[in-house]
């Protein structure tokens, strides 16, 4: 399902009824529920958040009925009588923050919970403050559910951060029912003051006494108060009206918003009334039409101007203000926005999606800068299940060329259930559609599966129709995917080779032609189907050409990591029995071609190497080393190709099939020698088709490839993904974050799958330069779970969805999150199973463990490898008796299916029988401002067997002492037994090519160390 928005150019006309204020409704219903007698609240709000408050109050025994447009509430005189053991706040933050404390006014213990994803919302600061007021409660992890004992609070002096007004309101709503005076003091920056002013005004309206300091940081509330029943009317909701105002502001219009009858007001009227002032200052032509009973906006040509706004008082309006700023002349600045990022989603980062449509938004420090543009282009967008983000992006899309789609299309119902009706009433077409979002601006093409009636072309290559779905896609070879692209779109970009001095662009037609030439060369060198072709090349177009050429002749791609030296290259050549090796003449300070010939001279008897083809690193003719007597023949790449005439008939006669082995990769293990993993074509194509379906990638995407193509991440989820998807791949030969940032924008890259270090470096480059990757939508972080602090920062700084994932060379991706997932699941987990894959966690006896328990992580997938080359013993050991692949990782899988890798089985630290949660400690330490990188490993100990040693890479200009580390862990209430007992500073952590820390090297360093201090046993 998605929300489809069509851009328009016509005049927007009509009238809409502004709904009643949900802010007033929450407070009025809650206060009325505690009153002596009956209250009548006129002007029903049908916002789902308000419905959650009504449902929770009914669960506490409150009688709430409806009489026409009026809520009739029978107050319980300050004492709830729960009808069940648990009540739910649904997904309403206001309901949750207000009612956790008020649940203590029940006559028995009650648990406050919420919807599944909502239970992950942390409420620690509020819980601590409530405990200081004497509320007795229990929470396992400062999240829902919270068990609250039915006992009146004692009151007293309590402090609370001013981050969210609902926290403060929750305390002052409870304070009148305490047994003694209460003083609530706000610390830090005070945000959302108008919402507090509304709470106080409503409390006074219900007869409660509360004294407030001039700066609104100190509240004194007498104890033992009684609430009186009232009769009140809810005002119009400015927060909902804002979307109608914005739609009218962006187009020629004549729009009436009935219900708003004044342009003057304050928090008691509505806490977001200041939005009207901001909109007027931007040039929205608003006037009160008293005869029609509403606010009218009439204009022939929109003319908006930039503004500078402090968002502390109207944080919820940031998304729609961003939309208005996008079409305003000049640069608008929205300041003090940090707390807006703690709402249903990171709203500031979410609105950076406007950049993918042609917007110019920059997020830095505590401000969002929006430069006006003339227009936008339709795109696929994510609402992050946030009602305000959804509606704001939808309104912006109405001014875009083409069509836009948004995920979680029904999120608007949370706060503004009539939004869709209102927009369509104004002739702004929006509709909820079924199926995949597809590509923006055009219908998603429907591709027919390959049927038995399809006639094969020469060489076994089948013509159209193109397959759809992972299973059908996997029945097509990669050479056929290339031919289809070359025939359908020969002039479109296939590969961009980003060099230090220039960018080389290759079209699909050119790529197919080069592949056939190199494939003919391989045949001339004697390569036959099933034979391994070894090559050690950086990320450049020749890598792609050679890989597809090998597959064209039915040979096996055997790429070697570029920084491998003679020892590792010799290992690969011996195990693969490759007769052809392709290398560059130079790579950084090394001479790979010379090293290959030295290997042949030293170990020729152990090698089958017959040909070394040398590619010039800098273009032109290669520097050819002299081959030893009796050694392999040496060829210059360019000269060899110039002397080759394409023999297409010979190529087509070979007819490779999807079942043939296509890839031999040697794992760069962190614990043992490399193993040769073999994968057939069908697995590789199926794997990328599964990811494409999971993430909704389409023909408008472009794939950025900074990961080594010689590793599975770059080979499969860079090169193969782009080929099957039929979109450009942007290759980065030498890693340089600043150059990467330039190439991302130059070539409009939208997707990347890479290791965590690439993400960290890119974030630093953006922070230092101020330039952002304007089109990047998704960053899938692999190799190791992204530190939570880095992921949150990356989403904010890059304006892209950071998705956690799990995969191995043996299995391809097994689990992956998606941009639509809740932030803490999207980057705080390793994703959930892709369609067609099964995940499980078992104990050491093979019993499957329940959700949430840690154990051995195993998976079953249609993309599991064929086996380890020449090692049937290791292949057998990799699988359980019932056929599941043993990953060697420890993990948990929660009730919603999200995977969290907690460590390697071999990385477990067993301290006197107590297993230390290594991943958790690393995550915590990574969050310390003095830490740039960290790994925790075991060091031997005679008494306890093992203790923990933390290897820390200090942040620039910072230093973390051992005592400071211990204090930090103490502040985070980490059990003392889990604290590292030694701290070692290190310049850089040793990592393999996909970013995994080589902990065996760190364990070797720690083997001779002793504790700085011993923790309690």
Give me the active site residues, please.
Answer: 316
Compute the Cα dihedral for 412, 416, 417, 423 and give only its sign: negative
Taking the CB of residue 835, how many other CB atoms lie within 10 A of it? 9
Going by the DSSP 8-state scheme, the letter that residue 850 receives in this structure is P
Instruction: Identify each DSSP E strand in 378-424 by its residue range.
Output: 380-381, 400-401, 403-406
Greatest extent of the chain over all pairs of C-alpha atoms, in Å: 105
Give the DSSP letter of residue 606.
G
Residue 468 DSSP one-character state: -
What is the Rg, in whole angstroms, of the alpha carbon atoms belonging to the chain? Answer: 32
Q: How many angstroms separate the CA atoms of 965 and 588, rounded? A: 38
CA distances from 99 to 22, 53, 201, 956 (A): 16, 9, 19, 44
How is residue 18 written in tokens? 């502004």
Binding positions for phosphoenolpyruvate are 22, 93, 121, 166, 347, 388
Distance CA 819, CA 697 (A): 11
Binding residue ranges for 3-phosphoshikimate? 22, 27, 165-166, 316, 343
* 210 neighbors 220 (Cβ within 8 angstroms): yes
| CA atoms of 360 and 369, how far apart (whole Å) | 8
Reduced to 3 DSSP states, what percent helix, strand and coil does the chain have, rounded to the nearest 5?
A: 35, 25, 40
Beta bridge partners of 830: none
The span from the CA of 196 to the CA of 615, in Å, is 69
Sign, Cα dihedral of 244, 245, 249, 254: positive
Query: Distance (Å, rounded) from C-alpha 763 to C-alpha 740?
Result: 11
Nearest to 268 by CA among 200, 166, 174: 200
Six-digit token pair at 779? Answer: 């960053």
Q: What angle do CA 446, 450, 451 make, to 5 degrees?
A: 115
CA distance linking residue 265 with residue 526, whole number of Å: 84
How are strands ordered across the β-sheet holding 137-138? 86-88, 110-113, 146-148, 137-138
CA distances from residue 335 to 216, 243, 309, 329, 348 in whole angstroms, order as listed? 20, 21, 6, 18, 11
Strand-pair partners of 833: 815
Residues ≥6 apart with Cβ < 8 Å to 167: 97, 125, 126, 129, 160, 161
Q: Which of 841, 756, 840 is nearest to 802 (CA)?
A: 756
The pair of structure tokens assigned to 133 is 């007021």
In whole angstroms, give the CA distance from residue 944 to residue 964: 24
Encoding tokens for residue 997? 């820390």
Q: For the chain, how far is it from start to end, CA to CA, in angstroms?
A: 54
From CA 636, how far away is CA 644, in angstroms rounded? 12
How would DSSP label each residue in 22-80?
HHHHHHHHHHHHTEESEEEEES----HHHHHHHHHHHHTT-EEEEETTEEEEE--TT-B
- The CA distance from 50 to 46, in Å, is 7
Phi, psi of 380, deg, nearest 5 = -90, 130
Q: 3-state class of 417 per DSSP? A: coil
Sheet holding 931-941, edge to edge: 931-941, 945-954, 982-985
Burial of 518 (0-12, 13-18, 19+ CB in 10 A): buried
Give the residue from 232, 214, 182, 180 showing the smallest Cα distance to 31.
232
Q: Which helix (H) or strand (E) holds 344?
A: none
A 10 A CB-CB count for 825 gives: 21
């Amino acid at each position: 399902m998605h929300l489809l928005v069509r851009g328009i150019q016509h005049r927007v006309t009509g009238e809409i009824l502004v709904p009643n204020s949900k802010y007033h409704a929450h407070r009025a219903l809650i206060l009325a529920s505690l009153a002596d007698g009956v209250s009548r609240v006129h002007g029903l709000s049908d916002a789902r958040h308000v419905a959650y408050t009504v449902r929770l109050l009914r669960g506490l025994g409150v009688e709430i009925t409806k009489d026409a447009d009026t809520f009739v509430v029978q107050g319980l005189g300050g004492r709830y009588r729960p009808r069940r053991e648990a009540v739910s706040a649904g997904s309403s933050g206001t309901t949750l923050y207000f009612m956790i404390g008020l649940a203590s006014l029940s006559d028995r213990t009650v648990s406050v919970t919420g919807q599944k994803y909502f239970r992950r919302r942390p409420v620690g600061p509020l819980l601590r403050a409530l405990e200081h007021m004497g509320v007795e409660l229990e929470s396992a992890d400062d999240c829902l559910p919270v068990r609250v004992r039915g006992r009146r609070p004692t009151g007293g002096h309590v402090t609370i951060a001013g981050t969210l007004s609902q926290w403060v309101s929750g305390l002052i709503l409870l304070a009148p029912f305490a047994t003694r005076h209460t003083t609530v003091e706000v610390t830090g920056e005070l945000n959302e003051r108008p919402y507090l002013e509304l709470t106080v005004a409503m409390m006074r309206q219900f007869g409660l006494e509360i004294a407030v300091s001039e700066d609104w940081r100190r509240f004194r509330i007498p104890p033992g108060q009684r609430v009186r029943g009232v009769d009140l009317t809810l005002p119009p909701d400015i927060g909902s009206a804002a979307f109608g105002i914005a739609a009218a502001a962006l187009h020629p219009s004549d729009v009436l918003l009935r219900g708003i009858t004044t342009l003057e007001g304050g928090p008691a009227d509505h806490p977001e009334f200041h939005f009207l002032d901001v909109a007027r200052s931007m040039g929205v032509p608003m006037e009160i039409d008293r005869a029609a009973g509403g606010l009218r906006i009439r204009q022939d040509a929109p003319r908006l101007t930039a503004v500078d706004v402090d968002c502390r008082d109207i944080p919820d309006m940031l998304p729609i203000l961003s939309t208005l700023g996008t079409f305003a002349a000049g640069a608008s600045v929205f300041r003090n926005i940090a707390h807006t990022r703690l709402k249903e989603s990171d709203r500031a980062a979410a609105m950076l999606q406007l950049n993918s449509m042609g917007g110019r938004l920059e997020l830095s420090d505590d401000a969002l800068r929006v430069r006006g543009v003339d227009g936008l282009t339709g795109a696929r967008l994510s609402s992050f299940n946030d009602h305000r983000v959804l509606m704001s992006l939808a309104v912006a899309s109405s001014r875009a060329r083409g069509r836009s789609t948004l995920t979680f299309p029904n999120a608007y119902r949370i706060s503004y259930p009539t939004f869709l009706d209102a927009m369509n009433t104004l002739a702004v077409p929006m509709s909820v559609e079924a199926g995949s979002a597809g590509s923006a601006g055009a219908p998603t093409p429907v591709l027919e599966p390959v049927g038995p009636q399809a006639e094969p072309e020469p060489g076994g290559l089948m013509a159209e129709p193109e397959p759809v779905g992972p299973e059908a896609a996997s029945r097509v070879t990669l050479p056929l995917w290339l031919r289809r692209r070359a025939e359908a779109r020969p002039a479109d970009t296939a590969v961009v080779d980003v060099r230090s001095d220039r960018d080389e662009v290759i079209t699909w037609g050119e790529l197919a032609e080069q592949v056939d030439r190199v494939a003919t060369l391989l045949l001339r060198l004697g390569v036959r189907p099933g034979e391994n072709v070894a090559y050690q090349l950086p990320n450049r177009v020749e890598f792609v050409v050679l890989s597809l050429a090998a597959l064209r002749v039915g040979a096996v791609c055997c790429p070697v990591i570029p920084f491998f030296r003679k020892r590792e290259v010799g290992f690969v050549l011996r195990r693969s029995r490759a007769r052809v090796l392709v290398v560059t003449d130079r790579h950084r300070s090394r001479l790979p071609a010379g090293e290959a010939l030295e290997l042949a001279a030293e170990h020729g008897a152990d090698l089958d190497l017959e040909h070394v083809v040398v590619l010039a690193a800098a273009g032109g003719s290669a520097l050819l080393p002299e081959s030893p007597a009796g050694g392999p023949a040496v060829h210059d790449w360019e000269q060899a190709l110039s002397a080759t005439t394409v023999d297409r008939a010979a190529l087509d006669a070979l007819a490779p099939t999807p079942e043939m082995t296509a890839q031999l990769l040697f794992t760069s293990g962190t614990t043992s020698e490399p193993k040769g993993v073999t994968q057939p074509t069908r697995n590789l194509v199926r794997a990328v088709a599964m990811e494409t379906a999971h993430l909704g990638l389409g023909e408008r995407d472009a794939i950025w490839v900074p990961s080594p193509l010689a590793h599975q991440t770059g080979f499969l989820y860079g090169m193969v993904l782009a080929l099957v998807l039929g979109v450009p791949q942007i290759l980065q030969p030498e890693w340089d974050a600043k150059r990467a940032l330039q190439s991302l924008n130059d070539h409009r890259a939208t997707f990347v799958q890479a290791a965590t270090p690439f993400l960290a470096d890119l974030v630093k480059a953006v922070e230092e330069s101020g330039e952002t990757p304007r089109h990047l939508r998704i960053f899938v972080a692999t190799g190791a779970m992204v530190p939570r602090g880095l992921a949150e920062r990356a989403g904010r700084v890059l304006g892209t969805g950071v998705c956690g994932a799990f995969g191995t060379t043996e299995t391809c991706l097994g689990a992956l999150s998606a941009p639509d997932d809740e932030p803490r699941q999207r980057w705080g987990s390793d994703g959930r199973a892709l369609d067609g894959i099964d995940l499980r966690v078992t104990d050491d006896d093979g019993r499957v463990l329940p959700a949430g328990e840690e154990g051995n992580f195993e998976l079953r997938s249609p993309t599991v490898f064929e086996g380890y080359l020449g090692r049937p013993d290791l292949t057998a050991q990799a699988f359980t008796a019932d056929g599941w692949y043993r990953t060697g990782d420890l993990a948990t899988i929660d009730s919603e299916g999200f995977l969290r890798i907690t460590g390697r089985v071999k990385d477990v630290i067993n301290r006197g029988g107590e297993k230390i949660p290594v991943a958790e400690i690393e995550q915590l330490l990574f969050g310390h401002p003095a830490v740039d990188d960290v790994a925790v490993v075991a060091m031997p100990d005679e008494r306890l067997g093992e203790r923990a040693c933390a290897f820390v890479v200090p942040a620039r200009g910072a230093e973390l002492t051992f005592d400071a580390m211990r204090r930090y862990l103490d502040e985070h209430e980490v059990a003392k037994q889990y604290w590292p007992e030694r701290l070692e500073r290190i310049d850089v952590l040793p990592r393999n090519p996909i970013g995994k820390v080589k902990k065996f090297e760190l364990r070797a360093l720690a083997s001779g160390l002793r504790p700085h201090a011993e923790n309690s046993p």
